[in-house]
Chain A
Amino acid sequence: MPVLNIKKFSFTYPGVDHPSLKNINLPIKKNRITALIGPSGCGKSTLLRSMNRIHDLYPGNKYEGKIEFIHENKEISDILDIKKENEFIELRQKIGMIFQKPTPFPMSIFDNVAYGLKIAGVKNKTELADRVEIALKGSALWKEVHDRLDKSAMGLSGGQQQRLCIARAVAVKPEVLLFDEPTSALDPISTGAIEELIVELKKDVSIAIVTHNMQQASRISDYTAFMYLGDLVEYDKTENIFLNPKEQKTEDYITGRFG
């Protein structure tokens, strides 16, 4: 069951003649982890950033094709049709994003997690406190920060900051979470904690993750898409991609012959 279905999707950055993504067809399956891998400049981040339309922060991008969003009630909408501000807000609360570098807001730990909730219209103080606690517990951060929720989030370590960002995204109960190389700025121990957390999260959300690290893709993902120069070369179950890829390009990449 896909939650997102990308169909014949092309993407062109402003002021560029050639599309950065060409005719992509890719499902993001429900409660599964889909990894996007490929060498730098292959378009994997560009594809991920199309799914919540964060590209639209900068004007002049050109989208073609469809990104279907299959809602809980089986209704289907096209993410690329969204034009109004309130629809964008709704989309981004359903499809959250975690970035490469941790991005704690310059405010307290509590306010960081409560930020999305407040935007979503949660005003009741006890409900806010409850949902912040649940989100922090769900991100395995509660034990470390429960006694300093009112302290600035900037004082946390890099790994803690990244888990805080995950808590912040999880708090608004999204259906999909997009991870854009979430561990490439972290040490191995923090990376391990984040990977565990991502696997844990797939019970509740569907996940797409861009990663440079092939071991990471093979460790945590259920499906893997290999991209190269704006094309989707191969998509399959992760074990098939890594154990017997159908395309020569895929094999060359995962065996480290280029990249």
Chain B
Amino acid sequence: MRLLINKIFLSLSVLSALIGLAFLGWILTTLFIKGLSSFHFSLFLNDLIDGGLRNLIIGQFILAGLASIIGIPLGMAAGIYIQEYGQGKYASIIRDLSDIMMSAPSIVIGAFVYAVVVVPTGGTSGFAGAIALAIMMIPVVISTTDNMLSLVPRELREAGIALGASKYKVIIDIVIKAAKVGIMTGILLAFARIIGETAPLLFTSETSNYFSLNLTESFPSLTVSIYDLANEPEEASRDLAWAASFILTVLVLIINLSGRFITRNKK
């Protein structure tokens, strides 16, 4: 009887795993077939107005890059505070809030930035989009920094202090260096996450058909354009959306894999 239950349980879990994997495989194959059939290298040379994706890819990276410039230092500083300086109540309140923020729906963050940035400044802008992405990123960076610093042995901090170093020097010279690989991987994964976000950008940066470096107006975004293109009636637009989705997936995959690669090699 027990053997039978064992077998049933095993086959059920295998089945569930297979179903999950099948869907993943299905998504990827559809994406590759549809994406590759409309993929062409000229997509990287022309802007959306000429049927290409160049401005969108560059724009997406600028938005995510700017978000990282805002989000990484803030998130790391907060993570360092929680782990190294914060004592008792305050640190755990901040930790809990950050965890809640991490699970906040991205569309809500988009709506929030719309209310506090887009409306007062009079219109969608690259800045607003970058801020929304930064807000998405901060809790992830906080939690990575917090977790990775907590893995650094206590003795290492004490050894620094015992040599006469002050606390901030020990943190900067020793603790962060010891946790560097983990923090970098976490940041890379956070970057991979925000680069594929649509909802926070939908009504903050919007998107643009033209190449632009002006962050004070609507800014080209790959994800928002995929959303727009997929809603167009023409076949050509939808094909372009498939190609864009394919490129985006490959980019995210590359960033994710390089994150794993760093961890594996430097440990």
On A, residues with C-beta under 8 Å from B are 52, 54, 57, 59, 85, 88-90, 92-93, 96-97, 99-101, 103, 105-107, 115-116, 119-120, 165, 168-169, 172
CA of A12 to CA of B80, assembled, Å: 29
Given A101-B155, A105-B156, A105-B174, A92 contacting B163 (CB threshold 8 A): yes
A-B contact pairs, 18 of them (CB 8 A): A54-B161, A57-B158, A57-B161, A85-B166, A89-B165, A92-B161, A93-B164, A97-B162, A99-B159, A101-B153, A101-B155, A103-B156, A105-B174, A106-B174, A107-B173, A115-B160, A119-B163, A119-B169
Report B-chain residues with C-beta under 8 Å of the C-beta of A96.
162-163
Verify B159–A116 contact, CB threshold 8 A.
Answer: no
Question: Is B177 at the interface (CB under 8 A from chain A)?
Answer: yes
Question: Is B34 at the interface (CB under 8 A from chain A)?
Answer: no
Question: Is B184 at the interface (CB under 8 A from chain A)?
Answer: no
CA of A119 to CA of B158, assembled, Å: 15
Q: 14 other contacts beyond A103-B158, A116-B165, A120-B164, with CB at 8 A cut-off?
A: A57-B161, A57-B167, A89-B164, A92-B161, A96-B162, A97-B162, A100-B155, A105-B156, A105-B177, A115-B160, A115-B163, A115-B173, A119-B164, A172-B164
Question: Is B87 at the interface (CB under 8 A from chain A)?
Answer: yes
Verify A107–B177 contact, CB threshold 8 A.
Answer: yes
Verify B155–A119 contact, CB threshold 8 A.
Answer: no
The size bracket of the interface on B is: 20 to 34
Verify A106–B178 contact, CB threshold 8 A.
Answer: yes
B158, B163, B177: the one within 8 Å of A169 (CB): B163
B184 CB to nearest chain A CB (Å)? 13
Identify the interface centre among B87, B155, B164, B169: most chain A CB within 10 Å of its CB: B164
CA of A165 to CA of B162, assembled, Å: 11
Report the nearest A residue to B179, measured CB to CB: A106
